[in-house]
Amino acid sequence: MRDKVYFLSDVHLGACAFSDDKERERKLVRWLTSIQNEASDIYLMGDIFDFWYEYKYIIPKGYTRLLGKLAELSDSGVKLHFFIGNHDIWVGDYFEKELGMKVYLHDEVQEINGKRFYLAHGHRTGYRPFMVKVMHYFFHATWVRRLYNIVHPTINYAFGLKWSKSNRLYKHKQDEAQYMGEDKEHLVQFAKKYLQSNPDIDYFIFGHRHVMLDLMLTKTARILYLGDWISHFSYAVLDNEGLRLEMYEE
């Protein structure tokens, strides 16, 4: 019976910073196969790809196993949802036309199985330093993308993958993937403030931080960080028993 909803984020497939890329893709496909008969919806909450830039007639090389599996799931009736992250911002219509996957460019509030969810990757949610805001503006600006479309794909992808690799190695050097405490986590602070004017939210679901977190904010509201598929291989599942974080172990 297909009555479960799944959430995962931060797989970073194609990342040149990691040597186990193909095996992580195979592991993700095995996990998708294991849930395909019980999943009604699967939410991919951003940074599934480490760099994705989609031209009108060209998509990045690779990811054959994952894309084929997603197409199979969609064809079998599983509803797929894709939230852009800061590494896979530049999606076009490929996911929707070829995979039947709904793409979200902004944060969303949705009702799922009678519960109110605030859903986002998290890179543009809450406090951001000024330079990060400037960077996000350029990455999301339509006119910048139009200019970038002029660049030959060979140069485009080489630059994008190199930038992504240096970004990932820098973040690991800075040991970013550590829980900083309730008072310093910007997404936690955002959720608390948001609840003051929107007390009907039951769950906040975020990726981006590469940390596993399940925290009660009020008597009825919780925030979850989904972890990643680099070291945790974690996800959240919603069923008739509630919402919980789990780790995929074979």
Q: What are the chain's domains?
A: 4-247 (3.60.21.10)
Position 174 scores a pLDDT of: 45
Tens-digit pLDDT profile for residues 21-76 = 899 999 999 999 999 999 999 999 999 999 888 988 889 889 999 999 999 999 99
Tens-digit pLDDT profile for residues 190-231 = 999 999 999 999 999 999 999 999 999 999 999 999 999 999
Using 50, 70 and 90 to split pLDDT, how confident is the model at 152?
A: confident
DSSP string, 127-142: ---HHHHHHHHHHH-H
- Mean pLDDT for the stretch of residues 182-187: 93
Using 50, 70 and 90 to split pLDDT, how confident is the model at 169?
A: low
Using 50, 70 and 90 to split pLDDT, how confident is the model at 171?
A: low
- Mean pLDDT for the stretch of residues 239-247: 96
Best CA proximity match to 15, nearest among 176, 161, 167, 175? 161
The mean-pLDDT minimum among 67-81, 130-144, 178-192 falls in: 130-144
Q: Is 96 exposed, middle or buried (0-12, 13-18, 19+ CB in 10 A)?
A: middle
Beta carbons of 209 and 124 less than 8 angstroms apart: no
Give the whole-number percent of the chain exceeding pLDDT 70.
Answer: 96
Beta carbons of 237 and 243 less than 8 angstroms apart: yes
Mean pLDDT across the chain? 90
